[in-house]
Amino acid sequence: MTLRVLCVFLLSGWLSVSAAALPIPENGPALRIQGSNTIGAELGPALVEGLLQEQGLLKIHRETPDTANEQRIVGQTAQGQRVIIEVAAHGSSTGFAALKNASADLAASSREIKDSELLALQTLGDLKSPAAEQVIAIDGLAIILNPANPLQQLNTEQLARIFAGEVKTWEELGSRGGAIHLYARDDQSGTYDTFKELVLSRRGKSLSSAAKRFESSEQLSDAVSADPQGIGFIGLPYVRQAKAVAIADGASQAMLPLNSLIATEDYPLSRRLFFYLPPDSRNPWAQALATFAQSPQGQAIVATSGFVSQTVQAMSVAPNALMPEGYQSLSRHAQRLTVNFRFAEGSASLDNKARQDLARVLDYIKRNGKTERAVTLVGFGDLKDDPARADLLSKLRAMAVRRELVKNGVVMREVRGFGALMPVATNSADEGRIKNRRVEVWVY
Comparing 383 with 50, the larger pLDDT belongs to: 50
C-alpha count within 13 angstroms, C-beta hemisphere, residue 321: 0
What pLDDT is recorded for position 426? 82
Nearest to 64 by CA among 87, 46, 82, 81: 87
% of the chain exceeding 90 in pLDDT = 75
Structural domains in the chain, sorted by start: 3-136+273-304 (3.40.190.10), 140-262 (3.40.190.10), 313-443 (3.30.1330.60)
CA gap 253, 6 in Å, rounded: 36
247-282 pLDDT tens trace? 999 888 899 999 889 999 999 999 899 999 999 888
pLDDT at 177 over 60: yes
103-133 pLDDT tens trace? 999 999 999 999 999 999 999 999 999 999 9
pLDDT at 51 over 80: yes
Nearest to 315 by CA among 258, 366, 363, 272: 258
What pLDDT is recorded for position 255? 93
> Which residues have a Cβ under 8 Å from the Cβ of 39 and sit 6 or more positions away?
89, 108, 109, 110, 136, 273
Residue type, 5: V
Cβ count within 10 A of residue 67: 9
CA gap 182, 63 in Å, rounded: 34
327-383 pLDDT tens trace? 999 999 999 999 999 876 656 678 889 888 999 999 999 999 999 999 999 999 887
Nearest to 170 by CA among 225, 224, 230: 230
What pLDDT is recorded for position 390? 79
Beta bridge mates, 442: 336, 376
CA gap 296, 310 in Å, rounded: 9
- Average pLDDT of span 403-432: 88
Comparing 190 with 228, the larger pLDDT belongs to: 228
What pLDDT is recorded for position 347? 60
Q: What is this structure's pTM?
A: 0.81
Which of 10-14, 218-222, 366-370 is predicted with the least confidence, judged by mean pLDDT?
Answer: 10-14
> In 3-state terms, what secondary structure has residue 14?
helix
- Average pLDDT of span 142-170: 97
CA gap 39, 190 in Å, rounded: 10
